[in-house]
Amino acid sequence: MLLLVLVRRFLPLILLLPAASATEVARLSFEELADTSDLVVAGRPTRSWTAWDASHKYIWTHYEVSVTSVHKGAPGSTVELAEPGGVLDGIAMGIAGSVGYTPGEYVLVFLQRMPNGYLRTTGWGQGRYPIDAHGRIRADSVMRGLEIVDTGTQAAASTPLTTLEGMSLNELSRRIAARTGRTR
């Protein structure tokens, strides 16, 4: 109980502290990102909220994304995704490298269903890309709090995610269709 009181009292100071560590994630290739994602959509986040998970153990920030184009899967007109962390009931939970979304921004997201049922950005920040005013993917975004590590399991013919930089959504959709064997 004392810890909870201290967290509530010093929350503004705690949130200002820099992250002391990074979250290590395996470097994904385009092929791995496309293959392991259940959905790939472009759209605009319209709202966000925080909630406890079913066991009231972890805080998750949920985002509703209004879908403008579908590149893999069969979502509805909106998709709800969730990322670990947030502030709720005076308690803050932070995870280094967690992905965030801002209402109104235009993004491409690769999403994977988690064991808890939530859709989550595949590969942490590796599955989130801003889209510019010309409809081109920006792959040069900074993934704060993430340490991308090579696992040595990638095939020699794998495509680095940096090749998405400047690609149109139509080209991306063609590449995903070629990977999954679906027709456009």
Q: Per residue in 30-61, pLDDT tens?
A: 999 999 999 999 999 999 999 999 999 999 99
| 78 lies in some domain | yes
| 171 lies in some domain | yes
pLDDT tens sequence across 104-155: 999 999 999 999 999 999 998 899 999 999 999 998 665 666 677 877 665 5
**Does residue 72 contact residue 34 with C-beta atoms inside 8 Å?**
yes
pLDDT tens sequence across 134-145: 999 998 665 666
| 4 lies in some domain | no
CATH number of the domain bearing residue 138:
2.40.50
| 6 lies in some domain | no
Give the structural domain span for 50: 19-180
CA–CA distance, 24 with 149 (Å, rounded to integer): 7
| 13 lies in some domain | no
CA–CA distance, 116 with 52 (Å, rounded to integer): 12
CA–chain centroid gap for 142, Å, is: 13
CA–CA distance, 168 with 133 (Å, rounded to integer): 11
The count of domains in the chain is 1
What's the whole-model pTM score? 0.82
SS (H, E, C) 77-88: CEEEEEEECEEE
**Does residue 15 contact residue 138 with C-beta atoms inside 8 Å?**
no
| 12 lies in some domain | no
pLDDT at 149: 80
CA–CA distance, 106 with 130 (Å, rounded to integer): 6
Three-class DSSP category at 104: coil
Structure tokens at 182: 């679906």
| 55 lies in some domain | yes
> Which helix H or strand E contains 49, and what residues bound it?
strand 39-52
| 68 lies in some domain | yes
